[in-house]
Chain A
Amino acid sequence: MLSTLGYAAVIAALLGAVVMTVAGLVGGFRNHPLLSDVARRSAYFSFAAMMAAIIVMEAALLGHDFSVEYVSRVGSRETPAYYTAISLWSSLDGSILFWGWILAGYAALLAVVRRRSTDRLTPFVLGAMGIVGIFFYGLLVGPANPFGLVVPTPENGPGPNPLLQNHPLMGLHPPLLYLGFVGLSVPFAFAIGALLSGNLEAGWLRDARRWMVAAWAFLSLGIVGGAWWSYEVLGWGGYWAWDPVENASFLPWLTATAFLHSVMVQERRGMLKTWNLSLIIGTFILTLFGTFLTRSGILDSVHAFTEGVIGPIFLGFIAFITLGSFALIAWRSDRLHAPGTLDGAVSRESAFILNNLIFVALTFTVLLGTVFPLVVEALRSERISVGPPYFDMVFTPLALILLFLMGVGPALPWRRATPDKLKRTFWVPLALGAATVAIIFLLGVRRVYPLVTFGFAGFVFGTIAEEFRKGVSARRRISARPAPLAFMDLFTRNGRRYGGYVVHAGIVVMAVGLAISGSWKLEREVTLQQGEKLEIAGYTVQFEEIWGREEPQRFVVGGTFQAWKGDRHLGEQQPRLNYYPTSQQPIATPAVESSLAKDLYLTLMAFDGENGEHATVRAIVNPAVAWLWIGGLIVGIGALIAIWPHRRPSYRPELAAELAGRGDVAEEPAVGEEESEPARVATGGPVE
């Protein structure tokens, strides 16, 4: 019953997407308002259908209807309701259903937001969203149908993958990642829409950027959330393993971040049009590629994926999108020519361009490292590994260059920096960076990478603080508001810029957390008798007892330990091992005692199964890990500030001119949000 209902809903969504695509594209080319309206309504229709499909699937999961194929594979009567509900994304078909639902949601939101627009862009954008929709809903109707009927109906199922039902965070980070991943298809649709409509000058980029920031924020939170999940669940004391699955989420993040910077060069100077389109399209392709990589089975073996249908279909769609997009760019190349000029090699433009070079090099390197073992295996049938030691080696120096640029770019003026201006701008940040290095050096740190990270972090914080100081003083001169209010004004009046600085601050916090936790992690593995203690980095851990507990879906073995930091009692710690019937290896649940400075991280490694007299425990003292999560949160807040819709205050050119004359805020109007539209269009025109 539910099986039929769900399948019907998915077919309806597919039909909606087909109508949306045809009506959108034809409506766009013919400039036909009625067809555009049909495209918009089809977006609502597809969303309603996917909503129904999700409700049916959740009803089947929670109602243990094992006649539905997906439920028969991931459901079980013993799994707690929470994990049953979120097992929607614990396997391929369900995650594509979830993906499709979010895609339909974005398309419907797009249709709502642009319901009053009469331009030719909107139908094209909807048409492009429709193409992506056809692919994903088509997968659901065909090879990845989660609603297949199982006859005869099984009594029970195996339950979801044990790793995915072991921690509540599993309910948080996949949805964030999916919101990010799928959200990246919206800027892509704008890019395709703009190419199709032929109007590549203004408007579309601004909208594409806003959607990109939103998707980027979700993706960032999803990646940090994934790292947190990994830390809290996997029990190895780390948070990032350069696993292909992690890399798959990181790759589009890198190119999206590159775009968010280079887009400003286009908005300001009308340069890099083709480049920015390529970044948007490349980002979307990387989301498809990441899904292909993690979902086609290719990671298990190069040859495995051809046995399934999903892999080749994904590759085909990736090829279609790549060729189609770049054919469109070639078709429109006459409108994309805007010979750029740089007034000075040292300018904000150059900093952004350099930033893009590093981001793209990073993307290439991570992609290469991820697929290299597959390529070697395909070519020579040898198996090699490219793992964390490789990635750390290549990633760290490039990431440090980016960190440095983060302190340079925002403070450089557009167009050209004079030596005098540079001196005034950078002496405070540079002094701060140098002082940080000196202090850390005097504290006894001799390792190069942490020292460099700290120095750059001080430098970047100096730059950000200077930017805020200048902004506040400019505000106060205009409005005579007290400093705290003037500070808040920066966010409401130019959220994009100052929100961006908050994001930077969050990244710096994370960089410091990474440098510290990566360099000063301490670890001991000891077998303790009852009552015996172990000491590590000022912590004392005492083993008390081993206990076992039968739960409906698993058997849990736990160790009770007491922990002290110095003389302060931290309370009982209970690292556990969880035995699931479907998993040969037990799944660990570490006990993590977090503080801002250090985490005490205990994993139960082995225990005396007969009378519980001894236990082997791995104790890890992980410094500054909490700052990763805090930094991630700051990044999210910054992104929210950057896209929060505000009433745009009227732009007062005379005031800006006066301020610019004083040289304090340079050409950057701190008064209104960026510059006025006509000014941008004017600079966007061809120069030669």
Chain B
Amino acid sequence: MSLEGRKGRRAPLLLGLLFLASTPHAAGAAAQELSAAELDQRTAEVAAELRCPVCRNQSVLESSSGLAREMQSVIRDRLAAGESPEDVREYFVGRYGDWILLKPEPKGINLLVYLLPAVALLGGAGLLVRQIRRWTGATTASGGTAESVVIPGGPAPVEDAAGRDGDQPAAGTAGSLSKEEEDWIRRQMESVH
């Protein structure tokens, strides 16, 4: 795990210094009253989701760099002045672009990074449930189907994850699949044995 410093991050640093000079320091005139502990907590929450612009993959909360610590005090001042965490994030996005957010905003192309894992998991589970049914069906008529067998007394039945996540979507997608797609899936599953 080498940590060779990344180059090419100088521009954000300059930007950062520029905006630091222009931040409002009217923190005292807080519209809302937050206790110091609450303010600490919220500051940390916002700082954890912002990237430290001059570091390698560290959040503003974690970084010990001067800029990150300045940013923390900006976050704190703005929260104390009554801005919502959302406002503060927007402010930094305005200065640095979406790059500053460690968790991308779920919009546009970014939706993919949130949806694809679910699609993969549910799709996989759907295929798996069908495959398990096929396998169980091949031997015995008495071997239960995937969703009907549960562990008595258990907090979560063993097939729960597959059943819950996979069953409905699988049934749902099955309806919307074309014949061709179904055949393709079947071929894929056959090659999986």
Interface string of A460-491 (1 = CB under 8 A from B): 00000000000000000000000000000000
A340 to chain B, nearest CB (A): 5
Bound form: Cα–Cα A434–B153 in Å: 12
Q: Do most interface residues of chain A lie in helix, strand or loop, or is the interface mixed? A: helix
B192 in contact with A173 (CB, 8 Å):
no
CB-defined contacts of A339 to chain B, threshold 8 Å? 138, 193
Q: Does B23 contact A (CB under 8 A)?
A: no
CB-defined contacts of B116 to chain A, threshold 8 Å? 364, 368
CB-defined contacts of B79 to chain A, threshold 8 Å? none
Known interface pairs A161-B4, A236-B64; A390-B102 also in contact (CB < 8 Å): yes
Q: Does A17 contact B (CB under 8 A)?
A: no
CB-defined contacts of B99 to chain A, threshold 8 Å? 383-385
Cβ < 8 Å to A, chain B residues 107-145? 109-110, 112-113, 116-117, 120-121, 124-125, 128, 132-133, 135-136, 138-140, 143-145
CB-defined contacts of B56 to chain A, threshold 8 Å? 243
Which residue of chain B is the closest to A379 with respect to CB atoms?
Answer: B109
Known interface pairs A360-B124, A408-B158; A386-B113 also in contact (CB < 8 Å): yes
CB-defined contacts of B121 to chain A, threshold 8 Å? 357-358, 361, 398
CB-defined contacts of B156 to chain A, threshold 8 Å? 404
A346 in contact with B159 (CB, 8 Å):
yes
Residue from B4, B8, B191 within 8 A of A333 (CB atoms): B191
A274 in contact with B143 (CB, 8 Å):
no
A365 in contact with B117 (CB, 8 Å):
yes
Cβ < 8 Å to B, chain A residues 541-563? none
Q: Does A337 contact B (CB under 8 A)?
A: yes
Q: Does B152 contact A (CB under 8 A)?
A: yes
B51 in contact with A385 (CB, 8 Å):
yes
Bound form: Cα–Cα A264–B1 in Å: 32
B103 in contact with A236 (CB, 8 Å):
no
A243 in contact with B57 (CB, 8 Å):
yes
CB-defined contacts of A401 to chain B, threshold 8 Å? 161
Bound form: Cα–Cα A358–B122 in Å: 10
CB-defined contacts of A273 to chain B, threshold 8 Å? 193
Q: Does B35 contact A (CB under 8 A)?
A: no
Q: Does A177 contact B (CB under 8 A)?
A: yes
A389 in contact with B103 (CB, 8 Å):
yes
Residue from A345, A360, A372 within 8 A of B113 (CB atoms): A372
B57 in contact with A345 (CB, 8 Å):
no
Known interface pairs A344-B149, A345-B145; A387-B1 also in contact (CB < 8 Å): no
CB-defined contacts of A403 to chain B, threshold 8 Å? none
Which residue of chain B is the closest to A459 with respect to CB atoms?
Answer: B155
CB-defined contacts of B4 to chain A, threshold 8 Å? 161, 163
CB-defined contacts of A345 to chain B, threshold 8 Å? 132-133, 136, 143-146, 148-149, 159
CB-defined contacts of B132 to chain A, threshold 8 Å? 342, 345, 350, 353
A587 to chain B, nearest CB (A): 10
B138 in contact with A350 (CB, 8 Å):
no
CB-defined contacts of A404 to chain B, threshold 8 Å? 156
Known interface pairs A235-B64, A384-B110, A385-B51; A688-B138 also in contact (CB < 8 Å): yes
A368 in contact with B117 (CB, 8 Å):
yes
Cβ < 8 Å to B, chain A residues 336-384? 336-346, 350-351, 353-354, 357-358, 360-361, 364-365, 368-369, 372, 376, 379-380, 382-384
Bound form: Cα–Cα A459–B112 in Å: 35
A422 in contact with B151 (CB, 8 Å):
yes
B3 in contact with A386 (CB, 8 Å):
no
Known interface pairs A229-B1, A236-B58, A387-B59; A341-B64 also in contact (CB < 8 Å): no
Interface residues of B (CB under 8 A from A): 1-8, 44, 48-49, 51, 54, 56-59, 62-65, 69, 97-104, 109-110, 112-113, 116-117, 120-121, 124-125, 128, 132-133, 135-136, 138-140, 143-146, 148-149, 151-156, 158-159, 161-162, 191-193
Given A398-B121, A422-B152, A588-B64, list of 17 further CB < 8 A pairs?
A: A163-B4, A238-B62, A246-B1, A341-B136, A344-B144, A344-B149, A345-B132, A354-B162, A357-B121, A357-B124, A358-B121, A372-B113, A385-B100, A385-B104, A387-B51, A390-B102, A585-B65
- 8 residue pairs from A and B, CB less than 8 Å apart: A161-B2, A173-B1, A338-B193, A341-B138, A342-B136, A350-B158, A368-B117, A430-B154
